[in-house]
Amino acid sequence: MRVLLVGAGTVGEAIARLARDRDWCELMVLADHDLDRTAALQRELGDDARFPAARIDARDGEAVAELARRHRADLVMNAVDPRFVMPLFEGAFRAGTAYMDMATSLSKPHPDRPYELPGLKLGDEQLARAGEWEAAGRLALIGMGMDPGLTDVFAAYAAKNLFDEVHEVHVRDGGDLSIPGFAFAPVFSIWTTIEECLNPPVTWDGGEWRTTEPFSAAELFPFPEGIGPVECVNVEHEEVLLVPRWVPGVRRVTFKYALGSDFIEKLRFLHDIGLDRVEPVRVGGVEVSPRDVVAAVVPDPVRMGDKMVGRAIVGTWVLGRRNGAPREVFLYQMADAQETLRTTGSQVVGWQTGFNPVLAMELLATGAWSAAGVLGPEAFDPDPYLALMDRYGIHHAMVEMEPGAHRPT
């Protein structure tokens, strides 16, 4: 497989490191607006000729298409902020390649009732093009990171192998990961953090998508691996929009993230003073986006890997029935920050996100996964995916939960 990788940040680095030792990787172009960053990554990869560097403006779909054609790419891999999803998605279509991302096209709140009804939902712009991709015989695999991504695969696995009926799917992202000594240091892109945390969260309830207030419905979720109860809150996320499309019969889907009260207050403050805004403002004759200013001054997650401690757990809590009796399970992946850095060279959240598209690339390259259209991870057979996780020694586990002992809010 020949891949055009757009973005050499935290996750892009992890993708390239993981792909280096994979037999299916014939070529992976390292494309970024910052050639110094790609040059450093090339050196780390041993100046391997399979990893050429290129400068790219991810806002320019035609430039993406031209670069993909030049390198005869089979796949455009989107590893940049979700604001660039549509030009990369369009560029891949123009180039005649497959496409993959880890976050879908952006949402827009309902103009009148943002905390009751969804407006433009995550992924809507891409899913509206599904017919074109299917007619062209090409695949756009959307939301193929950790969450969304592996969490969706877990949902599909549970529906196929563990339940006769799936009633509810609830993704919970937490653990005890921290960056001591920093007042405000996100573990992944601050641009994306602000986007998903301050938008109205979406839930799936009784066959309808609904919205609520940011950080609503606080819930103590009992994380495994000895971590115990951690408070999680509603956050806008793709699983809620993807799972109901491909997991039959599911009645309720939520996504909650363990942000911590201090981090939530800081995000609220950014919103209150307008620093979460994307639209440029004029400062001394220069147009600048307030959110870009925040991204420029907070610590860069790429350089924070050695300062992170603790564990990150992301999992899918599934409720339903098996053999006539209620059943609840939590399927999850756990990564320890210091161990991940030592064994992979990558920051823990970057690696935890990045290994998933690399596994999906292998399944596409070998033909274990194949389809046409705009599809989420749930649309594919989950068994070969989890088999690859086992083959490469990637931790994943499942705990049985006592039915009804802990109710999702």
Q: Tell me the pLDDT tens digit for each residue of 27-52.
A: 999 999 999 999 999 999 998 999 99
Asked if domains 2-100 and 150-348+381-401 share a fold, the reply is: no
What is the rounded distance in angstroms from the CA atom of residue 301 to the CA atom of residue 293?
15
**CATH number of the structural domain 150-348+381-401:** 3.30.360.10
* Secondary element (H or E) of residue 12: helix 10-19
Cα-Cα-Cα-Cα torsion 77, 32, 301, 219, nearest 10 degrees, comes to -30
What is the rounded distance in angstroms from the CA atom of residue 133 to the CA atom of residue 130?
5
The residues, any chain, with a CB within 8 Å of residue 111's CB and separated by 6 or more, are: 119
What is the rounded distance in angstroms from the CA atom of residue 147 to the CA atom of residue 238?
8
* Omega before residue 148 within 30° of 0, cis: yes
Tokens of 271: 């919103």
Model pLDDT, residue 305: 86
> What's the first-to-final CA gap in the chain, in angstroms?
44
Alpha helices in 253-347 (DSSP H): 261-272, 290-297, 337-344
State which amino acid sits at residue 120: L
Q: Tell me the pLDDT tens digit for each residue of 86-115.
A: 999 999 999 999 999 999 999 999 999 999
Residue 253 backbone dihedrals phi, psi, to 5 degrees: -140, 135
Model pLDDT, residue 137: 98
Strands (E) located in 311-366: 311-322, 325-336
Domain 2-100, CATH number (from 2.60.120.10, 3.40.50.1010, 3.40.50.720, 1.20.120.160): 3.40.50.720
Residue 277 backbone dihedrals phi, psi, to 5 degrees: -65, 140
What is the rounded distance in angstroms from the CA atom of residue 125 to the CA atom of residue 121?
8
Residues of the chain below pLDDT 50: none
Handedness of CA 198, 229, 146, 340 (dihedral sign): positive
Environment class of residue 200 by beta-carbon count within 10 Å: exposed (0-12), middle (13-18) or buried (19+)?
A: buried
pTM above 0.85, yes or no: yes
Model pLDDT, residue 409: 82
Query: How does DSSP assign 109-169, residue by residue?
Result: --SS-TTTS-SBPTTHHHHTTHHHHHHTT-EEE-S-BTTTBHHHHHHHHIIIII-SEEEEE
Q: Where are the domains of the chain?
A: 2-100, 150-348+381-401
The residues, any chain, with a CB within 8 Å of residue 283's CB and separated by 6 or more, are: none
What is the rounded distance in angstroms from the CA atom of residue 329 to the CA atom of residue 163?
10
What is the rounded distance in angstroms from the CA atom of residue 197 to the CA atom of residue 177?
18
Beta carbons of 102 and 148 less than 8 angstroms apart = yes
Model pLDDT, residue 244: 98
Question: What SS3 class is residue 232?
Answer: strand
What is the rounded distance in angstroms from the CA atom of residue 17 to the CA atom of residue 28?
11
Closest CA to 197 of 288, 293, 280, 265: 265
State which amino acid sits at residue 306: D
The residues, any chain, with a CB within 8 Å of residue 40's CB and separated by 6 or more, are: none
Give the number of other Cβ atoms within 10 Å of residue 293's Cβ.
14
The CB-side HSE value for 31 (13 A sphere, CA atoms) comes to 27
User: Can you name the residues that pair with 399 across neighbouring β-strands?
Assistant: 330
Tokens of 323: 């053999």
Question: What SS3 class is residue 353?
Answer: helix
